[in-house]
Structure 1
Amino acid sequence: MTRLRSLVLIHGLMGTLNNLQLATSRSVYHAFAPDLLGYGQQAHRLSANLSLSDQVDYLAELIATETGQPVILLGHSVGGAIAMLLADHYPERVSAVVNVEGNFTLNDAFWSASVAKQPVEEVEALIDGFHADPAAWLARAGVEPNTERLAEAERWLACQGGATVRAMGRAVVEATGVPEYLRILRRVFERTPVHLVAGERSRDGWDVPDWALDAAASVTVMPGVGHMMMLEDPAGFGRMVAGLLDR
């Protein structure tokens, strides 16, 4: 029997990737999308000193439990940074990375940096405001609200509270705002296939350096979508990822 290959989906600062449907034509994947520490079913595991290294170690343990073989990591936004750190710290557990507008510099962490500086009460109030008007939250992200997107937005917003967003914002700034972070990224590109994915509308705002574009296994720009492409067009995003995996 052919062994299923494993794909681990790592969500960003807000939301979940547990609804991604992969219509792969030539490959069969076991895909799992765990909640990061402080999110969803792991909400009780939130620490004020939460770091991206904590998330990396947690995911590495999950990978060892779920599968006995190297996995493909797909990370979105902050999840892209976590995926790259995991590939560096545990290279024997990662066969490839799909980096979906993952953080390269602090220019990619502008919202994380903003909430990291705010009192937790202000961040809680901000998230409560998103809950009260998910259509406005989508519009702010450049996503046209419709019935399906509103339902998904509500599901994303239910995954974390303000304390989690603030703690992760601080963790992102601490991990990606130091020179060592870019050296880590270069190491990953040198030894692991990294596929870069961006939305057409958000590509220009992604601070991905030229050396990363040159070193990438592939570079894909998904047409007609922005940063939250998997919420905006989940079927199209699934097809795009499937195409990458089927190469």
Structure 2
Amino acid sequence: MLPTLLCCLGFVGIISASISGHIASGTCVCLTTSGVNARSGAGLSNSILATLNSGECYKFNGGIRTHDGYHWYELQDVHGHHRVWIAGNYLRTSSSSHCSGTSTETSTRSSLATGDVSAKCLSCICQVESGCRAIRCAWDVNSNSCGYFQLKDVYWQDCGMPGGSLEVCAADLHCSSGCVQRYMSRYIGGSGCAPNCESYARIHNGGPTGCRQGYTLNYWTRVQNAGCSASS
């Protein structure tokens, strides 16, 4: 039974049981192991919104449910999702300093994948594309555009098809920003452009050679208006 439960929870590593009872709303809690799935509701049948790693800390939102033999805790602002549920077996309470500065912008920055593109530049692109929200796929210029970075299927394929499907990855801030990072790593070298925020933004908008295309200049202006410069 145990291997099945660990599979469903998305667990990797050593079990470190922690929280099992009431804690105050607003308490800072941290992951005690890596590979734990954050779900849309309390229970193993709910959809996976993100996969979390040891040391990540978030504020408890007040919700506690018991389901499938686990106590589930509702956390806020996790990988771009306003509310998620985590099994308490993999959480521990922590000092508030570990959750300090968790404004929307700070939470977004901490959820972004690292790579060639800075967190600041990714944040600006995310704001331009969706207001940095996990908006649903919608038809746009001959194909669907999805999620935080308005990813298209061909873009998602070029970044290695992470997350299992375009829809799942695009709706997860860490996965979709990781896709952007891999896309830029793949194409910036052959683009003929400097590796800076302007080039990354224009490639994101116009494809592998977008940084050299005039039609992406208006998009770059929007990214600048969101607070970024070429050196961001």
Q: Of Structure 1 and Structure 2, which has the larger fraction of its residues in helix?
A: 1
TM superposition score normalised by structure 1: 0.25
**Which gives a bigger RCO, structure 1 or 2 (Cα 8 Å, sep 6+)?**
1
The normalised TM-score by structure 2 is 0.26
